[in-house]
Amino acid sequence: MSGDAEREHPLPEPPGATGPTAQAGLLSLASDVARHAGALLLERFDGGGERALGSKSSPTDLVSEADLASERTIRELLAQARPDDGFLGEEGGGEDGSSGLTWVVDPLDGTVNFLFGIPQWCVSVAVQDDRRRTLAGVIFDPCRDETWAATQAGAATLNGATIKGSKRSELSTAMVSTGFYYDAAVRAEQAKLCERLLPRVRDIRRFGSAALDLAWTAAGRYDCYFERGVKLWDVAAGMLICERAGLAVAELPARDRLPAGVLAAVPALAEPLLELVG
């Protein structure tokens, strides 16, 4: 068989493989389940009347029946397709698998927005190997019908088209996105940080969905994003999408009263931003 023919018809990877072909299959599954859950959520969102069932870490950290229904749907679909994989979800906790792969899911990122009727929320689905490397990730925004996706071996895409971060080179002209922690004492510290940052950048945005903030940064709608207190399910897919879009991605260590966090930025802006918020 010629080399050209081999490239046209690559040999399938063995079970358990995590190379480009396997990653593409995982991405396809992630996209399918994210869109399925997103359709369920959009129907509930358009219907209105969704109520919070209670709160989690603080009175402002809400959970709804929509969160639970979305996670149940995703979990069932993944279990049918890949019963040996592990699962880590925001609402239902974790379950070990035997395949070496774990799905990391935020079934509704932006619950407060969802409950207030604000169309800024999404579904985030990622899959990691046993070294916690994200192999594939999808963020689906049902309100805009936008699907953000990437594999470790491929490009970052929006509805199938390749995306790249912005080319901004001056922090003073940068649009920066962030989010705030649920604990009031931490928010007070974050307010001080924003007071220091705001005069140094074009402006700051806070829309309420970490996953969408990362996706929008990957596409250049924002130049930089940082947030403390995020969980793995908030950022697993988005961090991979940002990396594959050519952005610098870093972890923010916990310090003083501030919890650990993440940062994604145009490479030229990563260091100056880290000096201000790191």
Taking only the tens place, the pLDDT of each residue in 25-47 is: 999 999 999 999 999 999 989 87
Where in the sequence of the chain do the CATH 3.30.540.10 domains occur?
Answer: 20-162
- So what's the pLDDT on residue 67? 87
Q: Give me the residue label for tokens 């209670």.
A: 54
Per-residue confidence (pLDDT) for residue 135, from 0 to 100: 98
pLDDT given for residue 124 in this prediction = 98
- Listed in sequence order, the residues at least 6 apart from 228 whose beta carbon sits closer than 8 Å to its beta carbon are 181, 186, 190, 252, 254, 258, 259, 260, 261
Q: Tell me what pLDDT residue 93 has.
A: 72
Contact 114, 50 (CB under 8 A): yes
Give the model's pLDDT for residue 53.
55
Q: What is the CATH number of domain 171-277?
A: 3.40.190.80
CA distances, 56 to each of 59, 195, 238, 277 (Å): 7, 28, 23, 27
pLDDT, tens digit, for every residue of 209-236? 999 999 999 999 999 999 999 999 999 9
What's the confidence (pLDDT) of residue 6? 36
Give the per-residue pLDDT at 63.
60
> CATH 3.40.190.80 residue ranges in the chain?
171-277
Q: Which two tokens stand for residue 69?
A: 């229904």
pLDDT confidence of residue 91: 75
- At residue 70, φ and ψ (nearest 5 deg) are -65, -45
Q: How far apart are CA 25 and CA 31, in angstroms?
A: 10
Q: What is the pLDDT of residue 1?
A: 35
Give the right CATH number for 20-162 from 3.40.50.1010, 3.30.540.10, 3.40.50.970, 3.40.50.150.
Answer: 3.30.540.10
**What average pLDDT does the chain have?**
90
Give the pLDDT score at 217.
Answer: 98
* Weakly modelled stretches of the chain, pLDDT under 70: 1-17, 49-63
